[in-house]
A and B are shown apart, each in its own frame.
Chain A
């Protein structure tokens, strides 16, 4: 196991190296982040602007050849210096603290939503497989179809409107507005522990529900299909024949085996969950990874986008590794070595 994890990590490092180069080429496609500012400078000061422009390029490190720039950035990145923003119109900002702060906001959202969706999807999938063609099954099927057809931002907008209505009801009854529908609290959460939990739920509830809805639809669908497969297997019939109670057969014998495909889907869809979080955050006005992305793509900030892609890649790789380890826990036939 340890050897397998080590080998996987080594392969991942190589993969990340290649990815970093691809990402570096990609951000070149953004174009020159200084050009617009330089054009403005030339207009204002036709004679003396060249020196200031050259200095701006030098400060941003954009006056060296591509490969040199890549090497400088890469060595900086692995040693913890992720560079600064290069736009000369603004004061330079350190990339690392900014990305890490947003990442923490977004990752909490993604992980909570995904874990809840997997747990709920597994249980609901099993029930609808066991009670196939019951009204419960039909309601679930209709719900999943709706979730697959609705764009994520639509669910987010609907939840946001619902949240505002809910707050109005709270206020009409003399309570504070609880659900936060616009903006992530810039100062974090304050007060006593109970108070902090209360605030935390108010902030995270709607975005988590939104992200969960889509993932839940996918997971419950997969769990239902794989559970139906497993329930038709011979060893389930044998287990019934031995006189084991239905409950035990379903949850001890069938459920564990039916979970395996779910792990695969879960690990494959973590990337799209991350993208979904970006959309959700935009609707709720959070300054998470989505905000960072839109703002910095528009400003053509190369190092911000690079860092964004690299931390996302690391996150996805780690999640896939966890999924592989989860396989061995679920299915003793799978050995990783």
Chain B
């Protein structure tokens, strides 16, 4: 923010002197977000979870190898106990959270890139390109994603990156439709006409002028996609069509621990579940807070 924007308005003729400081949109959004208590709690929980997943392994003494006795109760040595094979549950959950988050991030990135690119091109270019992209969306909507990802997970022996890639390739359709709808109205706006008059190329208009105007929707959708991807991955691994060893994920842990369910060791299942729910709740809270903070109509302070 430069000093020219931070204009100090000092009315010269009044006896009461006051100053008004123009605030940038980023600061308005941030302060609105910070005032939303659930959104703040959600983001803090998420940050803690991310640190836990990616740095926890550095500080925790146990590895994920079966070095211990089977089904040890929780103790200082093993806060979450050990599983049937004698693996430290805390170490497993750190690793699982890490892979689940990695999968979710890959999915969110892929869906955002594919959805925004195709949606913006379909909406702006129109004509045959638009119909082609629409047909592609329709085709993908009738093919059951669960089968495609399941088949590919078996094909690539449950490698986490392939599960993530095919999850991404089967969930971009909704975002494409939303962006297309927005671009259809944005392309009639004056600033697009101005850019065209200045000789900007189609690609430049789409990606420099139109897409930034959809930023709010894109940010919110990418956030919520992380929660969706974690849940979808968990569901797939739960029925045995997702990530497989040597890779791991929270879904795989759920799959492995569900057999303890009627026994006294059922809590190994519940503790894994708790982490899945924590991720998706915190991401949902954060996404909702972002949506409210970014929506100019949701401004509580009337000018």
Contacts and interface: CB of A to CB of B under 8 A. Distances in A.
B241 A309 contact: no
B135 A15 contact: yes
Nearest to A276: B235
Given A153-B238, A294-B239, A15 B142 contact: yes
B217 interface: no
Given A149-B277, A149-B281, A149-B284, A293 B147 contact: yes
A22 interface: yes
A149 B280 contact: yes
B45 to A, nearest CB: 12
Contacts of A31: 155
B151 A305 contact: yes
B151 A279 contact: no
Chain A contact-residue range equals 35 or more
Interface string B140-152: 0111111110111
Interface in A60-79: none
A274 B238 contact: no
A22 B145 CA distance: 13
A9 interface: no
B165 interface: no
A182 B231 CA distance: 24
A155 to B, nearest CB: 11
Contacts of A305: 147, 151
A270 to B, nearest CB: 10
Given A15-B139, A29-B155, A298-B154, A145 B146 contact: no
Nearest to B171: A272
B54 to A, nearest CB: 22
A151 B234 contact: yes
A102 to B, nearest CB: 14
Contacts of A22: 139, 143
B148 A26 contact: yes
Contacts of A300: 154
B151 A26 contact: yes
Interface in B142-191: 142-148, 150-152, 154-155, 174
A275 B148 CA distance: 12
Interface string B241-257: 10000000000001000
A278 B150 CA distance: 12
A152 interface: yes
A103 to B, nearest CB: 13
Given A15-B138, A153-B254, A297-B154, A278 B239 contact: yes
B273 interface: yes
Interface string A150-193: 11111001000100000000000000000000000000000000
Contacts of B138: 15
B245 to A, nearest CB: 16
A153 B142 contact: no
B261 interface: yes
A151 B231 contact: yes
A317 interface: yes
A22 B135 CA distance: 14
A333 to B, nearest CB: 19
B120 interface: no
Contacts of B151: 26-27, 29-30, 297, 305
A278 B281 contact: no
Given A30-B151, A282-B238, A271 B280 contact: no
Given A148-B284, A308-B147, A294 B238 contact: no
A313 B154 contact: no
A275 B239 contact: no
A30 B155 contact: yes
B145 A275 contact: yes
Given A149-B277, A152-B235, A294-B240, A278 B155 contact: no
Nearest to B155: A29
Contacts of B147: 26, 293, 297, 305, 308-309, 312
A154 B277 contact: yes
A274 B261 contact: no
Interface in B223-279: 227, 231, 234-235, 238-241, 254, 258, 261, 273, 276-277
B31 to A, nearest CB: 23
Contacts of A19: 139, 142-143
Given A15-B135, A26-B151, A154-B277, A279 B238 contact: yes
A316 B238 contact: no
A154 B276 CA distance: 10
Contacts of B174: 268
B142 A316 contact: yes
A18 interface: yes
Nearest to A298: B154
26 contacts: A22-B139, A23-B143, A145-B285, A148-B227, A151-B238, A151-B273, A151-B276, A151-B277, A153-B234, A153-B235, A153-B254, A157-B258, A161-B261, A268-B141, A271-B144, A279-B239, A293-B150, A293-B241, A294-B239, A297-B147, A297-B151, A305-B151, A309-B147, A312-B142, A312-B144, A313-B142
Interface of A: 15-16, 18-19, 22-23, 26-27, 29-31, 145, 148-154, 157, 161, 268, 271, 274-275, 278-279, 282, 290, 293-294, 297-298, 300, 305, 308-309, 312-313, 316-317
Interface of B: 135, 138-139, 141-148, 150-152, 154-155, 174, 227, 231, 234-235, 238-241, 254, 258, 261, 273, 276-277, 280-281, 284-285
* For the complex of A and B, 3 pairs with smallest distance between CB atoms: A149-B281, A313-B142, A275-B146
